[in-house]
Structure formats: C-alpha cells, structure tokens
Amino acid sequence: MTPMLRFENVNVAIADAPVLRNVSFSLAPGVSAALVGRNGAGKTTTARTIMGFTKAIGTVRLGGEDLGRVAPHRRPSLGLGYAPEDRRLFSAFSVEENILLPGRVAKLRPEEMRRRLERAYSVLPELKELAKRPAGSVSGGQGKMVALGRALMLGTKLLILDEPFQGLAPVLAQRYAEALRRLRSQDSEITLLITESNPKLLETFVDVTLTIERGEIEDTSSH
Amino acid sequence: MNSTLAILAVLDGISYAALVFLVSVGLSLIFGVLRVVNVAHGSLYAFGAYLAATLSLRVAPVSPWLTYPALLLASIVIGAVCGGVIERFLLRPLYGRDDVLQLLITFAAFMIMDNLQRMIWGVQPIFAADPLKLLPNVTVFGVTYTSYQVILLPAVALATLFGLRYFLRRTLSGAVILAVTEDREAATAIGIDARRVYFVTFIIGASLAALGGALASPTTSLVPGMGADMIVLSFAVAATAGLGQIEGTALTALLIGLTRAFVIYLHPEFEVLVPYLLMVLVLLVRPLGLFGAVQVRKI
C-alpha cells in the first residue's frame, strides 16, 4: 500500500544550521501519528516542510506524489490540512469565515463547502456558538479549535496539527482531545500527524509515535 | 477670515485632497500588503499624467468626450505594464530580504523612470485641458470653479474609497488580499498564492497612482519633477495616516487638503510646509500615524 506520507532522507537547514538530518519515515493511510520531541528538536520544521515552507533537500511524498514538485499554495488542494502551532487566525474575519476561507479559495461547490463546514461543526460543536464572533476576539484555546476547524476544510487526507495542546488549560486540552477522537470515529481514512512535546498527552490516542531529537528520528513505535 | 473665504477654502481643500488621496491610497495599499515603501510611486503618477495627456491630445480632435476613456486607459496601462514590471522583475527577487534593498530598488526604478519620462516626453511643459473644458463651470461667491475639480475629482476619490472598501471586505479577491496581509504563511497554508496577491495588489496600487496623475493632467502643466513632488507629498499623507490604513488615508488627505487650503488663504508662504509640518507633529505624538496600530497589519 502506498504510504499517505513519506519522508525520504530529508534535510533542512535554517540559517546554515541543520534542523532536520536525514529524516525518513512513512505513515500509512488512516493512522494517527505523534511526532514527539523536545523544543527545538525539529517537530515544527517537519510540519512546515510538508507544507513547503522550508528549503528541503530530499523527498517528501503525499500519497506517492512528490511534494517538491507542488507549489506550497497548491498543496492544501491535495487534501492537506495544517493547524499551525500559534493558531494564526485571520482576525479580519469571523470564526466561520476563517473556517470557510480555504474552501472559497479552492472554489469548492457551495454544497460541498456546507458539508465540510457541518463536518467541522460535528467534530468541534463549540465552534457553532463562536461562528459569528470576530476571530481576533476568541481565546487562545478557542483559537486552536478554530484552527483545527479551518484545517478540516481542505484536510481530507492528511491533517497536520502542530503542538495543538501547547498552552491549553486542562479542560480545553481534554475538549480538544475529545474532538480528535470524534474526528477519528467519523473518518477512519484520514491520516493525522500531531506534534507534541509531551508524549503522555497522546499515548492513548495515537497508533504510531515518532520520536525526534536534534533533527533526527530516533525511534518509531507502534501501539 | 470671513465665511465666504472659508467656503472657498473648503472647496479648494476637497479638490486637492481628492487627488492626493488617490495617489496616497495606492502607496498605502502597497505598503499594507507587500510591506514595501514604493518610491517609484511618484513616477507612476507622472507616467499616468503624461500618457493620459498624450492620449487626450490624440483623441480630442475625434471627439473631446473620448478624453475621459483616455484618462482611464492611461491609468490601467501604466498600472499594469509599469507596475507589473516593477513587481515581477525588481521586487519579487527581493522579498524576504532586507527592507532597505526594496527601498533602494524602488528608488532606482524612480530614477530610471524619471529619465525615461524626459526621453519620451521631453522637458517642455505639456498641457491637455480638454476633459476640464467639457464640464460646466460652477460659480461660488463670485469665484468660478470647474465642476471637474469640485465635483468630478471628489466623486472619483469617494468612489475609489468605497470601491476599495467593498472590494476588500465583500469579495473573495479582497478576502484573499486581507489574509495575505495578515499572515502570508497561514494564507499559503490554506491554498492562497501569495506571490499572485502581491502582483495584483502592486498593479492596483500602481494604477491608483497613475489614475491620480491622469486625473491631475487636465488641471496642470506636466513638467519633469512632478513625480518627485507627489511621492514626497503622498508619503507624508500615508505616514501621517499610518501606513496601510485606507480609510485613515482618506481622512488624512482631507485634513491636509483643508489645512493647506486655509493656509493658502491666510499665510500663503507656508503652503509647502503644511503637509510635512502636520506629519512631523503627528508622528512625534503617534509614531504609527493617526490611524496606525501595532497589533495587526491592516489595509
């Protein structure tokens, strides 16, 4: 079976300092994977490399397609959803406009956009109450939920969640984890890649844990 | 100053503010989205004026009414061609590098365009007032104004302001520009081609500068150096408003236009000083401009 995501000897340097060194791993379709490691280990750089925001040497494939040949702005339309570490919502728009914008940009049909919006609301019911709120006015935890909802609009194959639990109050972290479980129960085919500093937060949820240290994958364990 | 003079000053100020707004808002839009202070903006204004005058003089013998489409055509051509070339070949290779480089490259473009302007149109003044003569005059307290200056220019400025607001707040293209303005990487992560947004935004900003020049062309003699005067003035307006602030630019253009008009009536020797004095005073108190904000990039 073709892996959903495959890294082949990927190297990334930032300001001449190596951040990823010969990173190779693959994720089968439908798995939930955690990429764990300390701060600065290379987790966010791995996520950003998939999205095309770094200058990488090596090959990154999505469902067999070489992403190096796909411009960064064309990658989301391949089914790639990305919720960055610091949520990065567009404050000029409401919560719902933030969630819908990727669909509008991708020119999805209105009924398909509505279907995906309902999917986001079914995974994250609390977003429905926030729908009309300006995105700039939501709390940090709510913002993480909105970022996940936005990533779900185009993320039909691979969802990358960069440090989603960082800075969340315990109750919100629990709600976020419940949302991920709902997503998993509703969609068994989507592949999840979640970066996290604290491996214990994800150990009951994920199928695979990749441990990254100083830019190298040190361990891969299946649960 | 009596009330008659005050009304005349207001009319003068509004007319002047309308032209200044058109040019300044283009500069502000480009800065808001691309974070580039486009020194060549003044040259785009001058090129718009010269091309509009050239086309007007050509079409006026056929029908003077064709001079109006000529003004619009000149703006679009200069915006698309000159703006497109500057963004694609001069600015794009420099994105992500030191801001000073972008400033220097647009200054170089300004110098090149200034010389090109002399090569193409020479140094003799050009005057093409046909569009101005077509519209009736308006007499206010015994003073004759052209309705081109007191009605058409403010109407075009208002239409531009509300048109830009509508475009940015109500259309998908506008939403895409706002998203790139706020966070280029997050915008790319949802499928937006930020490079294309930069290109289109620069062309819109350049077209606004050229439109300002085209609309100014019937009201004044076109002479070398007019671009330099305008970039300094429009930068003063945009900086006083807060770079990237569209509505703020409109209000500041009006403030500077009215203040300048009143100063002309009261102390004409200070006319040139007004915009820059206002800018200095505002920036001393509010370094980000009257409407500038630290938190979020706005356009």
Q: Per residue, what are the HEC states of A39-72?
A: CCCCHHHHHHHHHCCCCEEEEEEECCEEHHHCCH
Within-domain flag for A99: no
Which residues in chain A are contacts of B294 at CB distance < 8 A? none
* ipTM summary value: 0.94
In this model, does residue B294 exceed pLDDT 60?
no
Shortest CB distance from B190 goes to which of A71, A102, A136? Answer: A102
Give the tens place of pLDDT for each residue, B238-281. 999 988 889 999 999 999 999 999 999 999 999 889 889 999 99
Bridge partners of residue A7, in order along the sequence: A25, A60
Within-domain flag for A133: no
**CA of A81, closest CA in chain B: separation in Å?**
8
Which phi-psi region, left, alpha or beta, contains residue A30 (left: φ > 0; alpha: ψ -120 to 50)? left
Q: Residue ranges per domain, chain B?
A: 19-253
Residue of B190, B195, B296, B299 to mutate, interface with A, max A Cβ within 10 Å: B190
| pLDDT of the residue at A213 | 94
Interface of A with B (CB under 8 A): 51-53, 71-77, 82, 84, 88-93, 97, 101-102, 104-106, 136, 150, 153-154
In this model, does residue B44 exceed pLDDT 60?
yes
Angstrom distance (rounded) from CA A204 to CA A152: 22
Give the tens place of pLDDT for each residue, B210-244. 999 999 999 999 999 999 989 999 999 999 998 88
Angstrom distance (rounded) from CA A72 to CA A87: 18
Q: Is the CB of B178 less than 8 angstroms away from the CB of A76?
A: no
Q: Is the CB of B176 less than 8 angstroms away from the CB of A77?
A: no
Angstrom distance (rounded) from CA A43 to CA B41: 43
Shortest CB distance from A51 goes to which of B176, B178, B189? Answer: B189
Half-sphere exposure of B276 (CA within 13 A, CB side): 9
Q: Which residue in chain A has the smallest CA separation from B173? A: A105
- Take residue A174 and report the two structure tokens written for it: 């629990």
Which residues in chain A are contacts of B189 at CB distance < 8 A? 51, 53, 72, 76, 82, 84
- Take residue A86 and report the two structure tokens written for it: 């610091």
Domain that includes residue A208, residue range: 5-89+156-222
**Total beta-carbon pairs less than 8 A apart between chain A and chain B:** 63
Shortest CB distance from A90 goes to which of B172, B183, B191? Answer: B183
Long-range pairs of B258-266 with CB within 8 A, sequence gap ≥ 24: B258/B9, B258/B10, B258/B13, B258/B14, B258/B17, B259/B13, B260/B13, B260/B16, B261/B9, B261/B10, B261/B12, B261/B13, B261/B16, B262/B1, B262/B6, B262/B9, B262/B13, B264/B9, B264/B12, B265/B1, B265/B5, B265/B8, B265/B9, B266/B1
What is this structure's pTM? 0.91
- 3-state SS, residue B223: coil
Q: For residue B212, what are the CA distances in angstroms to B20, B67, B93, B208?
A: 7, 15, 28, 6
Q: For residue A90, what are the CA distances in angstroms to A151, A205, B264?
A: 13, 30, 45
Angstrom distance (rounded) from CA B225 to CA B235: 16
Which range (A171-175, B22-26, B50-54, B195-199) has the least confidence?
A171-175
Q: Which residue in chain B has the smallest CA separation from A149? A: B190
Q: A-contacting residues of B 150-209, CB under 8 Å?
A: 172, 175-176, 178-179, 182-183, 185-194
| pLDDT of the residue at B142 | 85
**CA of A74, closest CA in chain B: separation in Å?**
6
Within-domain flag for A118: no
Total number of domains in chain A: 1
Within-domain flag for A66: yes
Residue B99 forms contact with A (CB below 8 Å): no
The tens-digit pLDDT sequence of chain A (223 residues) is 799 999 999 999 998 899 999 999 999 999 999 999 999 999 999 999 999 999 999 999 999 999 999 999 999 999 999 999 887 899 989 999 999 999 999 999 999 999 999 999 999 999 999 999 999 999 989 999 999 999 999 999 999 999 999 888 888 888 999 999 999 999 999 999 999 988 777 877 899 999 999 999 988 888 7
Within-domain flag for A128: no
Contact indicator for B9, B262 with CB cutoff of 8 Å: yes
Bridge partners of residue B247, in order along the sequence: none
Q: Is the CB of A154 less than 8 angstroms away from the CB of B191?
A: yes
Give the tens place of pLDDT for each residue, B54-85. 999 999 999 999 999 999 999 999 999 999 99
- Take residue A27 and report the two structure tokens written for it: 């994720």
Q: Which residue in chain A has the smallest CA separation from B180? A: A90
